[in-house]
Chain A
Amino acid sequence: MTAQADNAPGDNRARGSFYLRYMVEPYLYLSPAVIVIALVMLVPLVIGISYAFQAVNLLRPFQTGWVGFENFQALWSDRKFWLALTNTFWWTLGSITFQFFLGLGLALLLNTRFHGKRLVQALVFLPWAVPTFLSALTWAWLFNPTIGPLPHWLAALGILSEPFNILGDPNLAMWGPITANVWFGIPFFAITLLAALQSIPGELYEAAEIDGASAWQMFTKITLPFLAPMIAITVMLRTIWIANFADLIFVMTGGGPANSTQILSTYIFTTAFRKLDFGYASAIAVALLGLLLIYAAVLLVLRRKLVKI
C-alpha cells in the first residue's frame, strides 16, 4: 500500500478508495475462478499425491491406510510400468515430430497468397474441432480391413504383406494412434505458428529482397529466428500434453495388444477405472508427473544455455 501512496492523491479518503480499488476489487472478479480451481483441481491434486502413499482400492475397502513407499516399490518391479514408459517415449516423440513438421509446413503455406484461402484454412483446421473420442473411433474404423480402406491401400503399396488390421499387431499397433494424433494435432501447430508468422514485420522481407536474399536465406535468417521462441514454448507444452493424452489410445486399442500401446497415462486410467486401485494409479501418476517436471527443467536449462541474450 505504501508503494502506491505516491501515485494516489494526498488525502486519506482517496487513499482508502485507491486501496479498495486496486487491492480488493481484483479479487472480487477473481474469487469465483480461484475458488473453483482450488476446490476442484488443487485440493484433489494434493489428495491424489497422498493416495500414492496409501492403499486405496475400492475392491478391497477394508485394507486401507498409509503404506509409505510400497506402491513405488511395486512400480519399480512392475514390468508393465517400464514397458509403458518406453511406449510413452515413442508415442510422444513420434506424434510431436510429425505434428510439428507437418504443422510448420501448413503454416508456411497458409502464410502465402492463394485462391480460396479462407475455405482451405477452415477445412484444414477442421480435424482440431472433431471430438477426440470420435477421431479415435474413426481412425480405428479406417484401419479395420472390413470397413476401412487403409489396410487395402497399404497392402497395394506393398507396405503390408496382406490387408490386416495393424491395431492388432503388437509391432505396428502404435502407428495407429500416432496417425490419429498427427491428424488431430497438425491444426494446433499450424494455428500457433501461423499466428507467429503473421506477427513478423513485412519490412524485414522487403529489405532482404532488396539486398537480393534468396527465399531459403529469408527463411533461415528471418523466419526461423522469429519463430524460435514460439516453437520452443509450443513444442515443450505440446510434448507434456501428448505424454498425458490417453483418450486416443484408450479408445483405439485400450493399451493392447499385449500392452504394446500401453502408455503411462492409459495405464493410470485403466488401473483406476478397471481395477479401481486408486493408490497404485496415483503412484504411476506421481511418477509421470516427476518425469515431466524433469523434462521441463532440462529443457529450460538447455534454453538458458543456448540462448544467451
Chain B
Amino acid sequence: MNALRQTSPWAVAGKYLALALYVAFALFPLYWLAKIAVTPDKLIFSEGTALVPSRFTFENFQTVLLQTDFVAYFRNSLIVSLGTAAITTMIAAAAGYAFSRFDFRGKRLIIALMLITQMFPLLMIIAPIYKIVATLGLLNSLTSLIIVYTAFNIPFATFLMQSFFDGIPKDLEEAGMIDGCTRFEALRKIVLPLTLPGLGATLGFIFTAAWSELLFALMLINSNDAMTFPVGLLTFVSKFSVDWGQMMAAGVLALVPSCLFFIFIQRYLVQGLTTGAVKG
C-alpha cells in the first residue's frame, strides 16, 4: 500500500520522535487537567510546575459531586445530548437514505440549502432564535436546546448517513423488494441492520457536538436548574475562580462522556471518510 522507503535508521528514529512529539502535544493539556484535579489543595501552589504531584487525592471530585450543582448540570447535558443525538440520527438517516437511493426533482436544491446552513455564521441566527424561543416561552427549557441543536446537526449527519448508505449495495434491498417487501420493509429489515455501525458513528458525532455547544446554551439558559455542563462550568469558573482543583475535577468529569463516545467511533472515522472520499 505504502511505498515510502524507510531505509536509514535515522529516518526511522526521526519518525518515531515526530510521532512521540505529536502524542505528547495531544495529551499534555489533558494530563495537566487531570494532574491538578488530583493534587491536594495545599500542594497546588507549592508544586506549581512539578510534572507529578507528590500526593494524590480524590477530594476535589468528591466536593464537586456532592456539594455543587454539577450532578444536575451533568444530567441536563446528558438529556440534551442524548435527545439531540437520537432525534438527529433518526431524521438524518431518513434524509440520507433519500439522497442515497433516489434521484428526484429538487434534490440539488435541497443539497444546496443544506450546504448553505453549513456556511453562514451560526451566530447570525442567535438573536432571532432567542426572540422566537422567548416568544414561545421556552427560555430556560432543555426542549428548546434539543430542537435548536437537532437543526444544527441534521445537515452534517445527513451527508454522513448518505455515505454509509452509499456503501451498501442497492441489489440487497432490490432483491428484498422482488421477494415482496415494500421499500420501507426492505429498509427496516435489510438495510438498517447493515447500517448499525454508521448509525452508531453518527450518534457519537452528534452527541459530542451537542455536549460541547456553549454559546447558544449561554444565550437560551440562565436559570441554574436548566444549565448544561458548559454553561455551569463557565459560571462556576467566573464565580469561584480560586478553586482550581474543583474546577479541573469538573473539567475531567465533562471529558468523560465525549471520550467514551470518541473511543467508540474513532475506528470508523478514517474508514467512513475514505469511502466518502472515493465516492467524491
A residues at B contact (CB < 8 Å) = 21-23, 25-27, 29-30, 32-34, 36-37, 39-45, 47-49, 51, 56, 102, 105-106, 109, 111-114, 118, 120-135, 137-139, 141-142, 145-149, 152-153, 183, 186-187, 191-192, 194-196, 198-199, 202, 205-206, 208-209, 215, 218, 230, 237, 240, 244, 246-247, 250-251, 265, 268-269, 272-273, 278, 281-282, 285-286, 288-289, 292, 296
Contact = CB atoms under 8 A, between A and B. Distances in A.
Q: What is the predominant secondary structure among interface residues of chain B facing chain A? A: helix
Given A45-B124, A183-B29, A22 B273 contact: no
B201 to A, nearest CB: 13
B66 interface: no
A250 to B, nearest CB: 7
B29 to A, nearest CB: 5
Contact of B254 (A127, A134, A145, A272): A134
Interface string B35-64: 010000000110011000000000000000
B127 A106 contact: no
Contacts of A195: 270, 273-274, 276-277
A285 B124 contact: yes
B178 interface: no
A41 B126 CA distance: 10
27 contacts: A21-B183, A26-B98, A29-B94, A34-B113, A37-B154, A40-B148, A47-B125, A47-B128, A102-B22, A114-B19, A121-B266, A124-B19, A124-B26, A129-B258, A129-B266, A130-B259, A138-B30, A146-B48, A183-B26, A191-B269, A202-B2, A202-B3, A205-B2, A240-B119, A247-B214, A265-B123, A285-B121
Contacts of A208: 3
Nearest to A129: B262
B22 A106 contact: yes
A68 B6 CA distance: 65
Interface residues of B, number: 96
B127 A288 contact: no
Contact of A41 (B117, B230, B261): B117
Nearest to A280: B127
B91 A124 contact: no
Contacts of A36: 91, 147, 150-151, 154
A57 to B, nearest CB: 10
B43 to A, nearest CB: 11
Contact of A137 (B123, B127, B132, B233): B233
B218 interface: yes
B92 A33 contact: yes
A244 to B, nearest CB: 4
B258 A44 contact: no
A216 B131 CA distance: 57
Contact of A278 (B15, B92, B131, B270): B131
A113 B2 contact: yes
B15 A22 contact: no
Closest 9 CB pairs of A and B: A40-B151, A129-B262, A205-B3, A131-B212, A278-B127, A33-B95, A44-B128, A29-B98, A195-B273
B141 to A, nearest CB: 15
Contacts of A202: 1-3
B234 A109 contact: no
Interface in B129-188: 129-132, 147-148, 150-152, 154-155, 158, 183
A123 B248 CA distance: 21
Contacts, number: 286
Given A109-B18, A192-B273, A273-B219, A129 B208 contact: yes
Given A56-B127, A251-B234, A218 B4 contact: yes
B244 A45 contact: no
A289 B121 contact: yes
Contacts of B113: 34, 37, 42
Q: Kindly name the residue among A48, A192, A209 whose own CB sees the greatest number of chain B CB atoms within 10 A.
A: A48
Contact of A132 (B48, B214, B251): B214
A210 to B, nearest CB: 10
B12 to A, nearest CB: 8
A272 B273 contact: no
A26 B219 contact: no
B194 interface: no
Contacts of A137: 233-234, 237, 247, 251
Given A40-B151, A112-B15, A273-B218, A22 B104 contact: yes
B211 interface: yes
A139 B15 CA distance: 27
Contacts of B19: 109, 114, 120, 124
